[in-house]
Structures are given as C-alpha cells and as structure tokens.
Structure 1
Amino acid sequence: MEPLYEYFIALFIAFIVTIATTPLVKKLALKGGFVDQPSQRKVHEDSMPRIGGLAIAFGAVAGLIYLQPPFEFFWPITIGALTILILGLIDDKYTLSPSKKLFGQMAAATIVVAGGLQIEFISLPFNGYIEFGLWSYPFTILWILAMVNAINLIDGLDGLAAGTSSIALTILFMMAFTDGQILAAALAIVLVGSGLGFLVFNFHPAKIFMGDTGSMFLGYSISIISMVGLFKNLTLFTLIIPIIILAVPIFDTFFAIIRRLLNKQKISTPDKGHLHYRLLALGFSHRTTVLILYGVSIFFGGAALVFSETALWMSILIILFLGLLTQVMAEWIGILGERKKPIFSLVKKLKKKTLLRQ
C-alpha cells in the first residue's frame, strides 16, 4: 500500500490536469456542436458546452499514471470506460433515445462482466452466504446500470453531480485505504481530484457542463470502485455501504421511477419532481440548493462510516428510514412550492415594510 501522501500527490495531479484541459475541452465542444440548448425543463438560459466529462477522464488518467496501481481486470474496465465515454459523447451531440442509451450502458456493463469482474456471491450474517451462479451476470450488470443512471439523473444543476460524486468518492477512498484496497483507493482519489478540478468551471454559474459524458463516466467509475474494493470480500453489509454513500441520487432516482409509474408515464419521462428542482421551486437560489444537497450527501457519507461499526439489521433499518425521510422531505418541499412559496413571500413583505419604516 502506497503511503498516504502519494495519494494526495495523485489527487493534485488529477486536479491540475483537469483544470488545464477543461478550457480545451470547452473549445472542442463549441467547435463540434456538443452544446446543451436551454428548454422549459432546464434551469440554464444560454447554450452551454457539455462534454466536460472528457476533462474529468483526462485528469483521472494522469493521476493513475503517477500512482501506477496493480490493475486487475485492466482491459475490461478500460474498454467499458471507453464505451461509456463514447456513448456519452454521442448522446451529448445527438441526444439519444433512452432505449438506445440503455443499450449502450448495457454493452459497457456486459464487457466488464465478460472480462471476469462479477459479483458472484454475498456472505450473510451467521456464516451463511448466497451464491448467484448464472445470476451473477445480470446482478452485476444491474449494479453498474444503477450507479450510472443514479449520477446521470441528478446532473440537473451546476456542480451538483460533480460535487456529490466527489463526496461519495472521498468516503469510498477512506474506506478502501483503511481496508488496504490499493486499486479502489487509487481510482477513488484521482476521481476526487479531477471532480474538484472540474468544479472550478462547473460550480454555479457554470462555464461548462459535464454532460452525459461525465455523469455516466462517474457513475460507471463508482460502480467499478465498489466492486474491485468494497466487494472484494463481499458481504451483505458491504453491498449496503455504497447505497448509503449515494443515498441522495439513488433514492431520488428510485422515487422518480415510482412517481412516473403512478402517473402512468414512461420511466424515462423527464420531470421536475427531483429533490433539487423542488428546492428551487421553494425559493432557494441555485447555489444554495446545491450546497444543501452537498450537506445531505456529507451526512449520508458520514453515516456510512459510522454504520460500518453497526449491526447489519440496524444498518438496514437506518437506510430504510433515511430513504423514506428523503422522500417525505421532497414531497413536503413540493407541497410548499405549489402553494407559491408562502413562507418566502411573508419574509419579503416583512423586509419591505421594515425598509419603508426606515
């Protein structure tokens, strides 16, 4: 295991390379027509370049070149990553249909599984375990797809996906480093560096978006890190840990699917029912909304570290409670927003009266 300072050097390299390459990627995006146009569903008002995920990938590669960790399953992971990046570029250029995008994501996941990286069994409490057998293939593919789309669906505000992913990756690094998982720690720390470097340009007001190129790449990377690291000695609890860390995007995605099914809509139908849109509707500023969700992500990440010392059954109960709490909070915020922000209106009226009296 490399000393801790080596990982921080790799983080710094990834950070600097991402900062250096993002302006170049921005020029490429504008020249090549990789531009996100404003619409009623989106919060930005001007056309924005949107393949910033390339800069994140460049930074991560630079950090890995410095660390040179032992890279098990190098080719399937690398080819899968390239497939995701190419898929993201095509989608950022032409806006693929949900079915075509899902097909491409499944292709990348299948490459990984065919290369030998699979979730083959889960150890249970009391010395039992479940072997998936042939089901290990679809189970692993579903895990990768879940992570890819969880990050992809929260990429709705400036800096939200990059910041949330960086927080989750920081927690994953801490757990992997403590557990001596060299590859998982290396992958996590370089992505933290590149994510923070990209935030220099992506935090509100953003100068460039990561696009599906970036959000899908980050989700894919997180799924791989969990499998090569936390899943090395897989127990039912270590399966729960990444879900706790990424509770905000995962539960937001899960309840978005339920909401659309109840409304008799397609699962892929976009809406403004996500937590970040509802916070905006309540009257919070763009930047404040993102910072609130950063705080929630930090809370869940810290909870994951604490729960690692907790009994399995208690961890399951806590994660279910937190998930329901997140949804209740989102519904409550939505109700307040629909009532035309009475709280904020009252505050504004009081401020105006105070100013007039002065």
Structure 2
Amino acid sequence: MIEKVTLFTIILGFLLTALLSPIFIPFLRRLKFGQSIREEGPKSHQKKTGTPTMGGIVIVLSIIIATLVMTGKFAQPTVKTYLLLLVTVGFGLLGFLDDFIKVVLKRNLGLTSKQKLLGQIIISVIFYLIYRQYHFSNAITIPFVHTTIDLGWFYVVFIIFWLVGFSNAVNLTDGLDGLVSGTSAIAFGAFAILAWSQSQYDVSVFSVAVVGSVLGFLVFNAHPAKVFMGDTGSLALGGAIAAIAILTKLEILLIIIGGVFVIETLSVIIQVISFKTTGKRVFKMSPLHHHYELVGWSEWRVVVTFWAVGLLCAILGIYIEVWM
C-alpha cells in the first residue's frame, strides 16, 4: 500500500505544478511580478530581467495538497507531517514577503537581513516548542559511528542554526535556471529513501511530494527559465529539508546529502573573509556557480554538473546511513 502511495504522491505533486504553472505564469506576467537582476551579477543574466518570479507559490501549494491528500490515503497526518508543513509554509511566507517587497514595492534587496533572520528564528522556535511538546529526542546522530549525543536544552540553538542555515544555503544556490529544482529533487529523494528505511512513512510521503512538485516546476524552470521560484520557493525548500533531517535524526548527514548547498554557502563565506582580510577574491564571483559561468562554462553545463555532484552526495549519504 505504502509503495503505491509513494508513487502516486510523486505523480500528484508533479501534475499539480506542471498543470498549475501554465496558469500561474501568465497571471504573474499580468501583475508584472518580474525578477529584477542585480547589476553586479554576471552580465549574461541581464536578459532574464522581467522573467516572472514567486513561482515558489505553486511549489508550496503542490507540496501541501499532495502531502495531505496522499497521507490521508493510508493514515491520518501525523504531528511530523504538520511540523514539516509548518516549516515549509512558514519559510515560504517569509520568502513571499521578501519577494513581494523586491518585485512589487521595487526595493531590490527585499527584507533586511535582520528582518529575515528574526522571522526565521521565530519559525524555528515554534517548530522546537511543538517538537518538544511531543517529547521528540534532543539527541543528534553522528554518521559513520552511529553514536548519538544528547544536546539537552542546547538542541533549540542547534535547530535554529540548522533551519536558518539550510534555508539560506538553498536560497544562495538558487541563482541559475533549474539549479535548485534539480538539486533539491535529488536531496529530498535521498531523504525519502532514508525515511522509508526508518519506517517513517509520513516523512517519506512528504519528501516525495516535494520531489514531484519540484520536478513539475523544473519543466518551466529549466534553461531558459519561464519562471523563477524566488525566495518563496528556495527558503521553503531549505527549511523543509533541514526539518526532515531533524525528524529523521540525520541532522549531520544533511551536510553530505545537501553537499551542493553547503559548498555554495562555503564559497560565499570564503569569498567574504578573503576580501575583508586580504582585499583579494578567491573566486571570480560567489556563490560558486557564478564562478564557473565567468570562467566560460555555459549555464546549462554548470547546472548539470552541480546536479551530478548533488547525485553523488545523495548516493554517498544513503550508503553511509544504510550500508556502513
């Protein structure tokens, strides 16, 4: 039964975004919700100015519908289901507000960094309070040795850091057509398999709902993109994958499975530290995907290469957890 539910969840998520996007994209165009491209970015990206953004609304809606419909097919939604939806919707709304300010109010930087951080922390704390209300573990699991460490009260700090960190990491990665859609589909697919191996079918169903939804979105987001997911989508996806890692107690393994997101974030950190301390840049531009563009790679080549790296990271993560 659960095998069929999983398959149908992917199909439903895919169909929802694939069918809703052609309706939603013209709607965004009529509202003139077009992306503003930063002048300091690669010059080749200027032609993308005006491409509809906030497509993450469709992704989040598809995830919610596919998860609730298909979870109800074999059991009632659990507290873990609602925790995952809470993070997805919460971070998605925060991203929507950021996108709205950029696109509609024409403030290109959107929310200030402090405003965004405060919103992320509030959502993370709410997640933790519900999490502890149901007496879920405060321990984290160390890969390879499968040892657990109980963090006690410090776990709330860890959860805030993980949810905020990975939501921003996925957001940083969202800079090329189809990049986040593809890498997130791979990463969520890996966690779907691992949640299944733990018999956490509620988490697995949610994970495959995300896979189907982002793959449906990829039909319109692949190069040349007809729509961007915006912060609405990237913040929601980043928060969701961190929440899955927490609920499956595979927090540290997320560093490997989400390796592309981690590498992209490290490239920004390295670039900033290097420039502030030495006045020199390590990369031609950060995040890392822009560096490869500026050394002459085509956008599609960069995206496919990063997908391949993401797939290798996902396979390695599954291998570590299941077979080591």
Answer whether TM exceeds 0.5 for this pair: yes
Output the CA distance in 2 between the equivalents of 1:170 and 1:211.
Answer: 22
Output the CA distance in 2 between the equivalents of 1:129 and 1:295.
Answer: 31
1:218 to 234, 237, 248: 237
1:120 maps onto 2:138 in alignment:
yes
Q: How does 1:1-358 map to 2 (within 5 A)?
A: 2-40=1-39, 41=41, 43-45=45-47, 46-68=49-71, 69=75, 70-73=77-80, 75-94=82-101, 95-116=110-131, 120-122=138-140, 129-228=148-247, 230-231=248-249, 238-264=250-276, 272-308=285-321
Shift of 1:306: 2.0
Output the CA distance in 1 between the equivalents of 2:150 and 2:217.
Answer: 40
Deviations 1:65-104 (A, max 9, x none): 3322532155554444332222111111211122211221
After TM superposition, what 4+ stretches of structure 1 lie above 4 angstroms from structure 2?
A: 73-77, 123-129
Shift of 1:29: 2.6
Q: Which residue type is aligned with residue 139 of structure 1?
A: F
Higher relative contact order (Cα pairs below 8 Å, separated by 6+ residues): 2
Output the CA distance in 2 between the equivalents of 1:126 and 1:157.
Answer: 37
Distance change (3 Å), C-alpha of 1:105 and 1:126: closer
Distance change (3 Å), C-alpha of 1:249 and 1:289: same
For the Cα contact (< 8 Å) 1:34–1:92, is it kept in 2?
Answer: no
Distance change (3 Å), C-alpha of 1:127 and 1:145: closer
Q: Which has the larger radius of gyration?
A: 1
Q: Which is worse superposed, 89-98 or 79-88?
A: 79-88
Output the CA distance in 2 between the equivalents of 1:160 and 1:223.
Answer: 18
Distance change (3 Å), C-alpha of 1:44 and 1:199: farther
Q: Which is worse superposed, 194-203 or 271-280?
A: 271-280
Distance change (3 Å), C-alpha of 1:5 and 1:85: same
Distance change (3 Å), C-alpha of 1:310 and 1:258: farther
Structure 2: give runs of 5+ residues left out of the alignment. Answer: 102-109, 278-283
Distance change (3 Å), C-alpha of 1:128 and 1:85: closer
Deviations 1:254-283 (A, max 9, x none): 232132023229xxxxx8222211211121
For the Cα contact (< 8 Å) 1:25–1:54, is it kept in 2?
Answer: no
Question: Could you tell me the percent identity over the aligned residues?
Answer: 28
Distance change (3 Å), C-alpha of 1:259 and 1:87: same
Output the TM-score relative to the length of structure 2.
Answer: 0.84
Aligned residues: 298
Output the TM-score relative to the length of structure 1.
Answer: 0.77
SS of match in other structure, 1:122? strand
Q: Which residue type is aligned with residue 127 of structure 2?
A: V
Deviations 1:9-62 (A, max 9, x none): 111111111111113332343344432113321524131111111111122122
Structure 1: give runs of 5+ residues left out of the alignment. Answer: 232-237, 266-270, 312-358
Output the CA distance in 2 between the equivalents of 1:119 and 1:262.
Answer: 39
For the Cα contact (< 8 Å) 1:85–1:213, is it kept in 2?
Answer: yes
For the Cα contact (< 8 Å) 1:162–1:199, is it kept in 2?
Answer: yes
Q: Which residue type is aligned with residue 72 of structure 1?
A: V
* C-alpha RMSD over aligned residues: 2.3
Q: Which residue type is aligned with residue 63 of structure 2?
A: A
Output the CA distance in 2 between the equivalents of 1:295 and 1:285.
Answer: 16
Distance change (3 Å), C-alpha of 1:275 and 1:112: same
Output the CA distance in 2 between the equivalents of 1:127 and 1:82.
Answer: 32
Output the CA distance in 2 between the equivalents of 1:279 and 1:116.
Answer: 41
SS of match in other structure, 1:6? helix
Output the CA distance in 1 between the equivalents of 2:80 and 2:275.
Answer: 42
Q: Which residue type is aligned with residue 129 of structure 2?
A: A
For the Cα contact (< 8 Å) 1:29–1:50, is it kept in 2?
Answer: yes
Shift of 1:169: 0.8
